[in-house]
Structure 1
Amino acid sequence: MTLAHKKNIFIELGKFLSQFSENENIKRFDVLQNDLFFDAFADLIALSQSHNGWYTPEQVHFAVKSWAEALTKENLDRWLSAYEIVEKEPKSVGLILAGNIPLVGFHDFLSVLISGNKALVKTSSNDQHLLPFLAKYIIALEPEFKDYITFVDGKLENFDAVIATGSNNTSRYFEYYFKDKPSIIRKNRNSVAVLTGKESKEDLVNLGEDIFRYFGLGCRNVSKLFVPKGYVFDPFFEALFEYQDVIHYEKYANNYDYNKAVFLMSNFKLLDNGFLTIKEDPSYASPISSVFYEFYEDENELVSRLEDDAVQIQCIVSKDAIPNSIPFGKTQKPELWDYADDVDTLTFLQSI
């Protein structure tokens, strides 16, 4: 397959995904293989929460829409224009995927195939249905992909390189087990927001999207705030009131009740609005339903701190307070050229 042909297949996938939204699924007659796949995918989205309690239809629709917006000709051309991808003997690349948010491993899957390599995919037990379905769709568009995609139930074997995503604990196992193979091993990371006190209500509402999307389970979700000394949190809580319905999801509510109780029994001082607690804490990783915060006095010192802690941070969100930061509300809408942990996956795949 030529690169141009592979790009066209993923553009068609983007068109397929664009039919599904939280409000209404609209079947388009110009989308390939729709008679076979449209109703089945709508049913899969509706059933996702029965497979994983965190995968509500709203959250799955958001992930699907994000990939529909990413898989356009313009985006694929821009992404791939930075590389010289040449046809070569394909290598088998093991993909050990996370399952914290829907389709979290799709970028690795896309990168392996677009680079001309074969994907040996071990899905997370938390996300075993969405990616295999999309794989069936692209195989229906181009049967040759069948020789390039394998889903593995047991032990990962017969691979030339590996991309593995897990926790800090599992990464030690991965690093030992895959020590003799080229690899990308991803560990825990968290995202932070830097506030100056000059943010508008709209900015803070958008920050709520960065906090609550996927219930805060993603590494791109904001779990830590840096605020100026003396910062008053009233406008922050007022803006976040828009997300109050999150407490109606049982799994989130259970985490809120549990984590709040743990904090209170430990005599920690909390600020609480009934569905989110915030706690002053130097750590980056806060539990679900909670965000940590820390005061700063000098922006330059904060920039240095964040640079020193870069290996712990996935994204930095601010209103131009920090160089190269992401605007509020955009953390869960990465572009194709936004690589996890700032490791260029395509360059790695071309080097194996």
Structure 2
Amino acid sequence: MDTIQNRISAFVKLGVFLSQFSQKKIAKKENIEHNDLFFDGFKHQLKVAGENNTWFTKENLLFATESWSKALTQENINKWIIDESLGNNKSQKVAVIMAGNIPLVGFHDFLSVLISGHSVLVKQSSNDKHLLPFLAKYLEYVEPELKGRIEFTEQKLTGFDAVIATGSNNTARYFEYYFKDKPSIIRKSRNSLAVITGNESEKDFENLSEDIFRYFGLGCRSVSKLFIPKGYDFDNFFKGMFNQQEIINNAKYANNYDYNKAVYLMSEFDILENGFLMIKEDASYASPIASVFYEYYDNVDDLKIKLWEEREQIQCIVAKDFIENEIAFGQTQNPQLWDYADGVNTLEFLSKI
């Protein structure tokens, strides 16, 4: 019989399976269910994912798998679902349209739908299509009740009851029109920012470099914008970034760096750069790869009002004792299960469809 406990147990087992694939090493462990069937296969899928999308370096793929292995514990899942009424809903088919900007970016929606007792119909991005179907097979092996509850398609979506779709601002408009008759969560583009006060240590900036450079800055939780006090000296900032200098050895990143630098110089923009990162004064939140925008602020209260007014564009605010719900330097890419994208409680939505 399908129960919430069985579903939790399946994802906890998946977390244990993923714990074999960490940044330090890939190592087969004893006593992991169905490991002989799946370990080598997943190792191969990681390789194929990297070949299919050169942004998906081995380090970033393993960072993603390690992050999910840490998130999928019994304690974490119980804490996440404790206030939700998930046992009572009629099972529906929920379509999930996933982005492909970082590895396993749609996994939280996939997890949320299944843990809520629904069936999931997944439409993946071609940029990230190798890992999730394989992990879904593992889940079906450890919990046979999930068989028939997970479907992947590359065709037009049909026969679903609700939808969770993630895309750009342009595709969101299309989604809103196309799915107007269904219960939906439609996510648009968002970016993350850091508020610099001038009281940061060099260690804070080293940690911030993780928020800026992890996944090459392609995630919505990647910091692409800084707010800095008037007259700020960027020396400490650049010192903190220095430990990421190896990133320029990635050919795709280097090409973006060279291209964007040429565009800025031809447009005669004032930029500061250190050989692998450019910073430019700009009011926009979304900066191109290999660059971060910054904006000056005069008054802390005015900045807080501005960030509140523009919250629809913001995913995370990285800061130190500045604002409610801020994220510590270096922690944007380690969200908890209850840190919902766009602040929309997916489980609550799924409990009411």
Question: What TM-score range do you get, normalising by the shorter chain?
Answer: over 0.9
Q: What's the offset of the Cα at 1:180?
A: 0.5
Equivalent pair of 2:164/2:186 in contact (CA under 8 Å): yes
The whole-number CA distance in structure 2 between the counterparts of 1:88 and 1:301 is: 44
What letter is aligned with 1:204?
Answer: F
Aligned residues: CA RMSD: 0.8
Identity of paired residues, percent? 60
Query: 1 CA distance for matches of 2:260 and 2:324?
Result: 33
Q: Which stretch shifts more, 179-188 or 85-94?
A: 85-94
| 1:327 to partner: Cα distance | 0.1
Cα distance in structure 1, aligned partners of 2:112 and 2:286: 28
Partner of 1:3: 4
In structure 1, the residue matched to 2:165 is: 164
1:62 alignment counterpart: 63
Distance 2:283 2:311 in 1: 15
What's 2:268 paired with? 267
Is 2:22–2:66's contact at 8 Å kept on the other side of the alignment? yes
Distance in 2 separating the partners of 1:316 and 1:193:
6
Contact 1:101–1:214 (Cα < 8 Å) also in 2: yes
What stretches of structure 1 of length at least 5 have no aligned partner? none
Paired residue secondary structure (2:104) = coil
Partner of 2:298: 297
Aligned to 1:103: 104
Counterpart amino acid of 2:228? V
Q: Does structure 2 conserve the Cα–Cα contact (< 8 Å) formed by 1:48 and 1:57?
A: no
- TM superposition outliers: structure 1 runs of 4+ over 6 Å: none
- Give runs of aligned pairs for residues 91-170 of structure 1, distance below 5 A: 91-170=92-171
The answer to whether 1:208 aligns with 2:198 is no
Conservation of the 8 A alpha-carbon contact between 2:84 and 2:351: no
Q: What TM-score, normalized to structure 1?
A: 0.99
Q: Distance in 1 between matches of 2:71 and 2:24?
A: 20
Q: Which runs of 5+ in 2 are unaligned?
A: none
CA distance in 2, matches of 1:22, 1:36: 22
1:89 aligned counterpart, secondary structure: coil
Letter paired with 2:110: F
The normalised TM-score by structure 2 is 0.98
Shift in Å, 1:87:
3.8
C-alpha distance in structure 2 between counterparts of 1:43 and 1:126, whole Å: 17
Query: What residue is the counterpart of 1:44 in the other structure?
Result: 45
The CA distance in 2 between the partners of 1:207 and 1:327, in whole Å, is: 9
Q: Number of residue pairs matched? A: 352
User: 3-state DSSP class of the match of 2:322?
Assistant: coil
User: Would you say the 8 A contact 1:87–1:116 is kept in 2?
Assistant: no
Distance 1:57 1:48 in 2: 9
